[in-house]
Structure 1
C-alpha cells in the first residue's frame, strides 16, 4: 500500500516516537524511507542559538544532520532502504516540496516538536502539512503528560 514514507524529524522526543512508528509501518509495507530534517536558517529560525548568523546556521545544519543520522541508523538496522536529507528553509514548505519531488505515499510525523517562538507565531508544521499537502499524513499523537 505504501511504497515511500517520509519521516520528518527535529530530534525531539515526539519526532523520535513518530519515527519509530514510521519504521514499523515501512517494515510491514517493505517501503523505502526518506528521513528529512529542515534547518530553518531563515530570519525566524532557531532563536535559541547564540553567536553570529553564520555560526548559528552551521550549528543548525550540524544538529539537523545528527537528527537525520540517528533515524537513518534505526531504519537501516530494521533492514529498510533509507535516504537521509537535510534541507534548509521554512520546514512546512520544504517538507511539502520534498514529498512532492520524491513521490511520497505517506508522511509520518508527530503532533508536537521543538516549538518555540516561531511555532507560536506561525503555527504547527504538522498542521500545515495536513492542511496544505495532498499526501496522506499519519499523525502520531504526543502524550499530553510528556509535553
Structure 2
C-alpha cells in the first residue's frame, strides 16, 4: 500500500515518536523511508541562535543534519531503505514540495498538541501539510511527559 514514507524530524521527542511509528509502518509495508529536516533559514527562522546571520544559518543546517543522521541510523538499524535530506526554507512549503518531487505515499509526522491561542500564534507545520497536501498524513502524538 505504501512504498515511500516521509518522516520529518526536528530532533524533538515528538518527532522521535513519529520516527518510531514510521519505522513500524515501513517494516509492515516493506517501504522506504525518507527522513527530512528543514532548516528554516528565512528571516523568521530560529531567532534564538547567537551570532551573525551566516553563522546562525550554518548552525541551523548543522543541527538539521544531526537530526537527520540520528533518525537515518535508527532506520538503517531496522534494515530498511532510507534517504536523509536537509532542506532549507519554510518547513510547511518545503515538505509539500518534497512530497511532490519524490512521490511520497504517506507522511508520518508529529504534533506537539498545541491548541488555542498558542497554535494560532505559532502556526502548525503538521496542520499545513494536512490541509494543503494531497496524500495521507499519519499524525503521531508523543506522550507530553517525554
* TM-score, scaled relative to structure 2: 0.92
- Write out per-residue CA displacement over residues 28-48 of structure 1, whole angstroms, 9 at most, x where no aligned residue: 111011000000000000011
Match of residue 145 from structure 2:
146
Match of residue 28 from structure 2:
28
Contact 1:15–1:112 (CA under 8 A) maintained in structure 2: no
Q: Runs of 4 or more off by more than 6 Å in structure 1?
A: none
Match of residue 116 from structure 1:
none
State the Cα distance separating 1:122 from its structure 2 match.
4.6
User: Where does the alignment leave 5 or more consecutive residues of structure 1 unmatched?
Assistant: 114-118
Contact 2:87–2:94 (CA under 8 A) maintained in structure 1: yes
Match of residue 127 from structure 1:
127
Partners in 1 of 2:120 and 2:9 — Cα distance?
19
Say yes or no: does 1:79 pair with 2:83: no
User: Where does the alignment leave 5 or more consecutive residues of structure 2 unmatched?
Assistant: 114-118
Partners in 2 of 1:137 and 1:71 — Cα distance?
19
Partners in 2 of 1:32 and 1:44 — Cα distance?
33
Match of residue 90 from structure 1:
90
Secondary structure, counterpart of 1:63 in structure 2: helix
Partners in 2 of 1:94 and 1:112 — Cα distance?
20
Partners in 2 of 1:112 and 1:65 — Cα distance?
22
Partners in 2 of 1:126 and 1:81 — Cα distance?
24
